[in-house]
Chain A
Amino acid sequence: MKKIIGLLVVFFLTIVGVILFLRPKEIPQTLTSQLKEKSTEKHIPSVDHSKFTVLKKKFSRAQDVTEACISCHTETHKEVMASSHWNWQREEYVKGRGIIHIGKHNALNNFCIGVEGNEKSCAKCHIGFGMTADLSSFTDSTNIDCLVCHDNSETYAKGAEMSGDPDPSVDLSAVAQSVGLPKRSNCGVCHFYGGGGNNVKHGDLEKSMFEPSKEVDVHMAVEGSNLACVDCHTAENHNLKGKIYSLSSMNRDRSSCEQCHTEAPHAASILNEHTLKVACQTCHIPTYAKVNATKTDWDWSTAGELHDGKPFETDDKDGNHTYLSIKGSFKWGKNLKPEYIWFNGTADHYLLGDTVSDTSKPLEINTLNGSYSDPDSKIIPVKIHRAKQPYDPVTKMLIQPKLFADEKGEGAFWKDFDWARASAVGMKDVGLPFSGKYTFINTEMTWPINHMVAPKEESVKCIECHTNNGSRLAGLNDFYMPARDHSPFIDSAGILLIAVSLLGVFIHGSIRVYSSKKRKEGGAK
């Protein structure tokens, strides 16, 4: 007995020792608190722009403000004019295409389709003034709109359909004297409203992010770390880190969670191991569009219906458009679970003039590359926006229609509601042929979800993926995942083996009981 106790003690001491040895070290707690502390440090500007005499005057033109900026910041305009915020394009290497320029001039989307021919309206979200179709404004540094990013008075606004010029009501002198680091509002005014309305495009970037609660975004929460966009999207020479793969193609200049959190931020090593194949966002953004709905589906083919010759709209109970004569029918979603894909940081895009022969499955407007077997790939959460958009069945090209114009009769769909005419004018503007025939094909556009990070308690639980019943990763079938996947052969062979064992034991036992009873009866006789 003593020996047993001794052995037990030795054995369990060994186990306790091993567990203590393998127990995760508790560094991450201090990392998080360090980060929290850092986020409370306030930025103190080294200059007060209201004290500069060059800014204390009445500006009649926005370009004069820019000139005043450049008079002190003598080289900054060169940085800005080299940035993608200015050029709306980047030089990218794309496998199969080589080194090309990809940007808003040649890549399409499945929302308002494209910029070409619609510059006057689209320029509201360009950091410049006086945009025209020939883009001649892009070579003049005084057309840089410093204020849209650096206004800290929250009174600056660009006018609607004014080629990027400020709204006439803006007091340019007051705004110029208030400039500072970009705030959430500076970025949000464009990036929250992409696609023609709040949260239309991204799903994880929308007006609730101006002042979000912790539940909506743990980083930007006003009562929490209260981070500004530029705290993560840091800039070097006016080149901001981070980009969205609606236009980007290469794995570079990305903004990442690891910048602050390191690659192994969890206390449990099994969670750190997951980061090899699973992006942080996959577990830490369980839902997006948490406050306001995002557009999930856009059907251009129904556009053009008129009531008494006039365009009309219908809305759902939350005020989201479900139909617009100028744009077609929409579907919206709120509190959405993302879809998941493998992504290695590189992407390809449908570019103007590409031909599409197979229209049986939806055309990928942007293709995010990746697979399980690719060591650079991780699983990321995405919003997939599905649409039906115009297509020329003869030239096999997506159509860039002319949408916007000031007047009727220029061929713009939003004024004349004539697809054939709008397609002809639009394709002529971009220098591509149009056969005169048009139809509508299904397209998909993939938007990585990176914001609206939830408090850690609300992270995706293991069982939400590791299950064979409605796994979040049910769509990613190029790898084996415990609990989700089984070998039908091994499982059925195993169950059969257990069944045969039980049956054998039952039959053998029954005969034993029966024969021993019989023997006893025989003995009694």
Chain B
Amino acid sequence: MKKQVYIYKSFERFWHWTQAFLIFFLGFTGFEIHGSFTFFGYQNAVEYHNIAAYAFIILIAFAIFWHFSTGEWKQYVPTLTNIKAQINFYLIGIFRDAPHPTKKTVLSKLNPLQRLVYAGLKLLVIPVMVISGLLYMFYRYPQAGGVVGLDINSVEPIALFHTAGAFALVAFVIVHLYLITTGHKPTTNLKAMITGYEDLEEEESEKGSEIKEVAGAEAAADISETETPALPAKNLD
């Protein structure tokens, strides 16, 4: 039995799409600064990139607050449970129209592979980009906004980390854009991230209502309870 569930809250969607836009914009202006092509003009590209960077940092500050105040951060704690089944699904089951091995619920939206990748993104790639980006702006120049220079001798290591992170993000975006088509229907996930609602298998007493009142601790408890056991990938043919 399927039911329309309100799965992506308004802030979450706002955060997701603003972040998506900023990553695209930062990537585009960033690779112009890298010398890969010319579009805005070098000086403009640098100015736009810096403004977008500050916007991104502000967005991240809001997002961190949201993750902790709602307890949503627990959704990203990596787990090995069910990971083999998930890999099997992407490698085999998906071609046989097998059901998703991880049940998507409001309190556990991510499958184990998603948890791993998103946690990596949030804890590794984005911090590397933010820190190397800030160092890029302030590594040396004592004059910039009166900030005392950090007196790092060369921008080279900073630039190389920043570039490597950018390539990783491009690869992430490519794979991400493809994998969102692997929902129930190719557009299911996209629609859900736009409207907030998705048709999910009905479960417990949870209705399509918002859960923002649920305290972090309770939500955490719920998550561990609702962790679905591995389902064998069934061939429906």
Contacts and interface: CB of A to CB of B under 8 A. Distances in A.
Q: Do A and B come from one complex?
A: yes
Interface of A: 1, 3-4, 7-8, 11, 14-15, 18-19, 22, 263-264, 268-270, 272-273, 275-276, 372-373, 461-463, 466-468, 479-480, 482-487, 490-491, 493-495, 497-498, 500-502, 504-505, 508-509, 511-512, 515-516, 519, 522
B178 A462 contact: no
Contact of A493 (B33, B51, B167): B167
B178 to A, nearest CB: 4
Contact of B175 (A270, A484, A504, A522): A504
9 contacts: A15-B54, A276-B143, A463-B38, A467-B35, A468-B35, A493-B167, A501-B175, A505-B175, A519-B237
A482 B155 contact: yes
A492 to B, nearest CB: 10
A265 to B, nearest CB: 11
A293 B74 CA distance: 72
B175 A494 contact: no
Contacts of B94: 512
Contact of A512 (B59, B95, B168, B175): B95
Nearest to B52: A15
Nearest to A7: B14
B58 A18 contact: yes
B178 A482 contact: no
A498 B170 contact: yes
A486 B31 CA distance: 12
Given A479-B154, A483-B35, A498-B171, A466 B42 contact: yes
Given A8-B14, A483-B42, A516-B97, A15 B55 contact: yes
A515 B160 contact: no
B174 interface: yes
A501 B18 CA distance: 24
A19 B51 contact: yes
Give the interface size class of chain B: 35 or more
B35 A490 contact: no
A374 to B, nearest CB: 11
A263 B142 CA distance: 12
B34 interface: yes
Residue from A270, A276, A482, A502 having most chain B Cβ neighbours under 10 A:
A482
Contacts of B96: 515, 519
B67 interface: no
B91 to A, nearest CB: 9
A479 B153 CA distance: 10
Contact of A276 (B43, B140, B159): B140
A161 to B, nearest CB: 53
Contacts of B1: none
Contacts of B168: 494, 497
A505 B174 contact: yes
B43 A462 contact: yes
B42 A276 contact: no
Contacts of B166: 494
A269 B10 contact: no
A22 B145 contact: yes
Given A11-B14, A276-B142, A494-B168, 4 more contacts: A270-B50, A490-B163, A494-B170, A519-B237
A490 B160 contact: yes
Nearest to B156: A480
B11 A14 contact: no
B237 A269 contact: no
A113 B65 CA distance: 73
A483 B164 contact: no
A320 to B, nearest CB: 37
Nearest to A511: B95
B41 interface: yes
B116 to A, nearest CB: 17
B178 A480 contact: no
B28 interface: no
Contacts of A482: 33-35, 155, 159
Contacts of B34: 482-483, 486
A15 B171 contact: no
Nearest to A516: B97
Contacts of B237: 519, 522
Contact of B58 (A15, A273, A504, A508): A15
B80 interface: no
Contact of B42 (A463, A508, A512): A463
